Amino acid sequence: MKRELARVKHQSFGLMLGYSVVFAVLLPPHLALRNPALSGALKLAAGLLFVHLVLRLVQSKRAVSPVFLALVALRASLLPGTIAHNGDLLTWGFESVRLIALLVLLEHGLGKGRVHAMVVLKGLANLLLLYLFLNLAMVLGGSGLSTSWGPGEFEQTVYFLGIRTRITDVIFPAILAAVLVDVLDCSRWQLRSLFAIALGISQIAILDVATGYVGLVVLAAVYVTVRFIPGGVSLFSWRNISILGIIAFLGIVIFRAHDSFEFLISEWLGKSMELTGRTVIWDNAIPILLAAPIVGYGVNDAFGAFVPWYGSILWQAHNQYLQLMHDGGFVGIALFILLLLVAGRQVDRAAIGLREKAALAAVYCAMTLMSITEIFVYNMGMFYLVLFLGGCARLFELGEE
């Protein structure tokens, strides 16, 4: 009996490591993509995984999910602008392949019963925790790489996950994956969750990321509300959070409602009312976007940079909806919102426990509100990972096997 248990545990461990490797191919850290040879190998591996997973999907004759259809439609909407403006078809193709493969992998793995779902989530959670640990090691060791934009005009330090502000991309999805694992594993001490939170808070504090502070406050407030306050689940349904994100975008980016909270922003966060240059970037971006409003400019070879800022440097829009409008115009934004609503419908209808509901709502709300001044659809596309986990929520409902 002991030998059999040991054999099963060994097989599960090997399977978990296998999933971690596959997730690493589909969610490569920024530092890996800076090496041309490694970046090329990762892209080739992602392409092979895509072919394998899509063939398995076809052979299974399983109906494709609404989230899958919404994602494919969104990625397809970025193609006309990319072609019309002589954009980067290779980058568009790689990102499309990577995201579709990631979704198919999650839907396939999480749909094979609760035990297998736990193995998949452990593989994902452990990888993201490793990413955060390696990034923290580089931060504490002062071993980041110095990089500059333009002819020495703007310099920043690049760590394992990217520049200073990019740690938020991974922190919040890592917390979500860790909580889901601890819940499914019936963990008494919640060690993965505590480790993820500790790694996140420490790096946000050390690097002094204001957006991260906001995200942590939102995360805590939403989690407590959903978990412990009657009506919290309905209040912070994914549909309501999606609507809140759109309202916040219009209020702050378009109508500058944050000007009414000058004391909070200036005194508490220590930021200027320009939000560290964000409002200048938005003002420069909007006229450019309105020149190609329907299908946008498509995917370029500059990691989405298109806004003149800081001398001769081109920058991203520093807002998720403005960036999506650059890539796909109003059509792209409409299909992105459709993806949010379709994934949210799966979460809101899933018969999962209160802790999972709270974690999913808290992380989704935090990243939605942080995306007012940041972009999480680039740099590993971690916002999509949260959407995919939400879209798969009904596959690991409590009690299923």
DSSP 248-292: HHIIIIIT-GGGGGHHIIIIIS---TTTTTHHHHHHHHHHHHHTS
pLDDT bin (cut points 50, 70, 90) of residue 119 is very high
First to last CA, the chain: 23
pLDDT bin (cut points 50, 70, 90) of residue 27 is very high
Name the residue ranges covered by the structural domains of the chain: 10-396
Predicted confidence (pLDDT) at residue 96 exceeds the cutoff of 60: yes
**Cα dist. 262→216, 265, 266 in Å?**
21, 5, 6
pLDDT bin (cut points 50, 70, 90) of residue 263 is low
The proportion of the chain whose per-residue pLDDT surpasses 70, expressed as a percent, equals 91
Name which of 215, 190, 186 is nearest 201 in CA terms.
Answer: 215
d(CA 138, CA 239): 38
Neighbours of 140 (CB within 10 A): 11
Residue type, 77: S
pLDDT bin (cut points 50, 70, 90) of residue 5 is very low
Helices and strands counted in the chain (H then E): 17, 5
Predicted confidence (pLDDT) at residue 4 exceeds the cutoff of 60: no
Crossing angle between the packed helical segments 2-26 and 36-60, to the nearest 10 degrees: 120
Predicted confidence (pLDDT) at residue 80 exceeds the cutoff of 90: yes
How remote is the C-alpha of 101 from its chain's centroid? Answer: 15
* Two tokens, residue 382: 């971690």
Cβ-based neighbours of 396, under 8 Å, separated by 6 or more:
110, 114, 117, 118, 121, 180, 184, 352
Residues 307 and 316 sit within 8 Å (Cβ to Cβ): yes
Half-sphere exposure of 155 (CA within 13 A, CB side): 5
